[in-house]
């Protein structure tokens, strides 16, 4: 007899297979039986710009809109080219240095050059 794995959300072992998914009877969480954690890790590591191009460390990008810097009167202007970006985890995926200072930017405001 095979046993279903523990729930990844609540860690309870009261789970059962239902079609192509496992279901937790305690919290109601469902997850696929054929989960590939390696594929999920590579999907998280892939950062895309505003046009859907994959960004990598060292790429050059351009700002697609004016960005106000929080806590400052500085504005990063549209069309500013940023060289040698660095990808980091979190909400703001891109770390870069510009003439105005060092910033962390969201990839959705960048376009690969």
Specify if 2 maps to a domain. Answer: no
pLDDT tens per residue, range 49-105: 999 999 999 999 999 999 999 888 999 999 999 999 999 988 889 999 998 899 999
Let me know: does 76 contact 67? Beta carbons within 8 Å: yes
Print the SS3 string covering 23-92: EECCCCCEEECCCCHHHHHHHHHCEECCCCCEECCCCCEEECCCEECCCCCCEECCCCEECCCEECCCCC
Specify if 20 maps to a domain. Answer: no
| Cα distances (Å, whole numbers) of residue 72 to 26, 65, 67, 93, 101 | 48, 17, 11, 21, 12
Residue 71 domain boundaries: 47-112
Specify if 77 maps to a domain. Answer: yes
Specify if 71 maps to a domain. Answer: yes
Number of domains in the chain: 1
Q: What is the CATH number of the domain that holds 99?
A: 2.30.30.40
Specify if 24 maps to a domain. Answer: no
- Please state the pTM of the whole predicted model: 0.59
Specify if 32 maps to a domain. Answer: no
Comparison of pLDDT for 106 and 31, the residue scoring more: 106
């Amino acid at each position: 007899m095979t046993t279903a794995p523990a729930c990844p959300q609540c860690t309870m072992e009261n789970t059962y297979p239902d079609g192509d998914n496992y279901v937790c009877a305690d919290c109601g969480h469902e997850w696929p039986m054929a989960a590939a954690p390696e594929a999920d890790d590579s999907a998280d590591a892939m950062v895309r710009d505003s046009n859907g191009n994959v960004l990598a460390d060292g790429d050059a990008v351009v700002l697609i809109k004016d960005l106000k810097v929080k806590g400052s009167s500085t504005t990063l202007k549209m069309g500013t080219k940023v060289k040698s970006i660095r990808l980091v985890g979190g909400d703001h995926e891109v770390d870069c240095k510009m003439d105005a200072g060092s910033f962390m930017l969201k990839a959705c405001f960048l376009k690969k050059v």
